[in-house]
Amino acid sequence: MGFPWGSILLLIINTFIQMLQDPTFLMVFVVVVVLIWLLYQRMQKTREALLSVRGSTLRLVLTSLGFGIAGGLLGSVLIMVLGISINDIGIIYLWLLAVLLMLVNPRLLCFSYAGGILALFSLLTGYPKLNIPALMGLVAVLHLVESALILGSGHSDPLPVYVRNRLGRVVGAFNLQKFWPVPLTVIAVATVGAQALAGSIPMPGWWPLLGTLGTLPAGTVIGIIPVMAALGYGELAVTCLPRERVRLTSLHLAIFSLVLLGLAILAAHVPQTTVLAALFAPIGHEVVIHVGQRSELQGQPRFIPPGRGVMVLDVRKASPSCEAGLRSGDVILRVGDIPVNSRADLRYALDVSGHSFEVEYQREPGGVRRAQAAAGQDAPPDEAGRFGVMTVPEPGDPPTVDIMTTGFLQRIARKVFGPRAG
């Protein structure tokens, strides 16, 4: 028989609706959303400090909530299709280890690292006793959902910044950060009163694909329960535009997720291969991170001064430059009758060109374009205020953000043992 897609989807949606009637789940949901609100509010303060532009925290949170719910539905369907049970995966140990790793370095707050370490420790010592295929399957599903969320919204609202790359040069870049509240439904051994999945919906003979529910005692009822998760994404786009960067990241993360999922399924049917999944979770994820960081920080920067003209790093929405059609990566060649080759030239040209003027700019791979523009009269008389553009850094400009992030334990170690620690 085929997989009962309609019945499973209806069951998941009904469980999502029941979530809203569960006080405990609602409390956790509100806490997660408030934390995400605070993170976005901090980002907006950074944007205002760097660009003197205010943004809507509410819009960011509502957008993330919409994408998070969609991601939760996708993840829930994948969990049901695979037959991943939350029982015996050591969820408490997983969270504790993830938080500990975060204190070492914030980017280590990821279940691929915590799950891999926990699985390897269990294989070596026998404690805690874990269902490692289910654990690795859950990690794979969460990263597959994350790759879809990154592709769908990771490029939106990028923050233009100046950063110092690994070669010591200050270059233009975009800081991409997103957070999503992700409500999920997961399979669990049901207690009295739980909604029976296997008992109410006929499942095909190959289910569960991961084989993690095949050893339950006779008479056990399989049910589904709601859980609350949160996913985050942070990256720099230095060598390309934000949309191009998130496409590559999403692709690499999806490949990692599918390989890990394949290893988890293999481990469920061939226990001798379990160590492969446990090793691949942290190592494979580290390779994905390393490839992305290496290409961005050591590759050819995209946003640097051109040989002629002034390159635009970012265009403020609803500004004169935006209405004139300029966008990130364009090179302004002339304002009115005045050629511009530096930020000072651009400022001077805007000062003397009056309210309305023609802008000549170049866009790759196209040629030279011209557009009529009108500088704002109620904004500060500079290129970011009157015209609404932020240009790429010029020689002597300092970085606006520090890309070297350390964790709490690293900072303590450096204070105790000196700057070489960590």
Residues 124 and 256 in one domain: yes
Confidence of residue 1 (pLDDT cuts 50, 70, 90): low
- CB of 44 closer than 8 Å to CB of 228: no
| Positions of E strands within 80-189 | 159-164, 170-189
In a domain? residue 72: yes
Residues 218 and 170 in one domain: yes
Q: Which of 31-40, 164-173, 203-212, 285-294 has the lowest mean pLDDT?
A: 203-212
Last residue of a domain, one of 298, 333, 367: 298
Q: Which of 85-89, 105-109, 193-197, 284-288 has the lowest mean pLDDT?
A: 193-197
Residues 177 and 84 in one domain: yes
Q: How far apart are CA 364 and CA 4, in angstroms?
A: 50
CATH assignment of the domain containing 382:
2.30.42.10
Quote the pLDDT of residue 15: 87
Quote the pLDDT of residue 203: 80
Confidence of residue 221 (pLDDT cuts 50, 70, 90): low
Quote the pLDDT of residue 176: 92
Quote the pLDDT of residue 410: 45
Last residue of a domain, one of 298, 326, 348: 298
Quote the pLDDT of residue 407: 46
Residue 274, H or E segment: helix 274-298
Residues 77 and 113 in one domain: yes
Residues 274 and 325 in one domain: no
Query: The tokens of 25 are what?
Result: 């789940």
Q: Give the count of domains, the chain.
A: 2
Mean per-residue pLDDT of the chain: 85
Count of CB atoms situated within 10 Å of the CB of 306: 14
What's the pLDDT tens digit per position in 225-262?
Answer: 888 888 888 888 999 999 999 999 999 999 999 999 99
Question: Which percentage of the chain shows pLDDT scores above 90?
Answer: 45
Residues 287 and 342 in one domain: no
Of the two residues 333 and 414, the one the predictor is more confident about is: 333
pTM for the whole structure = 0.87
What is the 3 state secondary structure string of 3-35? CCHHHHHHHHHHHHHHHCCCHHHHHHHHHHHHH
Q: Which residues contact 403 (CB under 8 A, 6 or more apart)?
A: 163, 164, 236, 297
Whole-angstrom Cα Rg for the chain = 25
Once rounded to an integer, what is the mean pLDDT over residues 72-94? 89
In a domain? residue 176: yes
In a domain? residue 412: no
- CB of 50 closer than 8 Å to CB of 159: yes
In a domain? residue 408: no
- Strands 368-374 and 356-362 turn out to be antiparallel
- CB of 306 closer than 8 Å to CB of 330: no
Residues 190 and 332 in one domain: no
In a domain? residue 81: yes
Residues 93 and 125 in one domain: yes
In a domain? residue 405: no
In a domain? residue 421: no
What's the pLDDT tens digit per position in 10-61?
Answer: 888 888 888 878 888 899 899 889 989 998 998 888 888 877 777 889 999 9
- Strands 331-335 and 338-339 turn out to be antiparallel
Residue 409 has pLDDT above 50, yes or no: no
What's the pLDDT tens digit per position in 179-214?
Answer: 999 999 888 765 444 455 655 678 888 888 887 665
User: 197 is in which domain, residue-wise?
Assistant: 5-298
Quote the pLDDT of residue 215: 58
Residues 280 and 141 in one domain: yes
Residues 314 and 199 in one domain: no
Residue 352 has pLDDT above 90, yes or no: no
Residue 422 has pLDDT above 50, yes or no: no
Of the two residues 64 and 52, the one the predictor is more confident about is: 64
Residue 365, preceding bond cis, omega within 30 degrees?
Answer: yes
Query: The tokens of 232 are what?
Result: 């985050």
In a domain? residue 257: yes
What's the pLDDT tens digit per position in 310-350?
Answer: 999 998 887 888 888 999 999 999 998 899 999 999 988 88
Q: Which residues contact 290 (CB under 8 A, 6 or more apart)?
A: none
| Positions of E strands within 88-221 | 159-164, 170-189
Q: Which residues of 265-304 are buried (b: 16+ CB within 10 A; e: fewer)?
A: bbbbeeeeebbbbbebbbebbeebbeebbeebbeeebbbb
- CB of 106 closer than 8 Å to CB of 407: yes
Burial of 378 (0-12, 13-18, 19+ CB in 10 A): exposed
Once rounded to an integer, what is the mean pLDDT over residues 95-109? 81
Residues 86 and 233 in one domain: yes
Last residue of a domain, one of 255, 276, 298: 298
Residues 201 and 329 in one domain: no
Measured between alpha carbons, how far is residue 200 from residues 4, 14, 73, 127, 214 in Å? Answer: 11, 14, 20, 35, 18
Residue from 372, 371, 359, 367 nearest 333 by CA: 359
Once rounded to an integer, what is the mean pLDDT over residues 148-170? 91
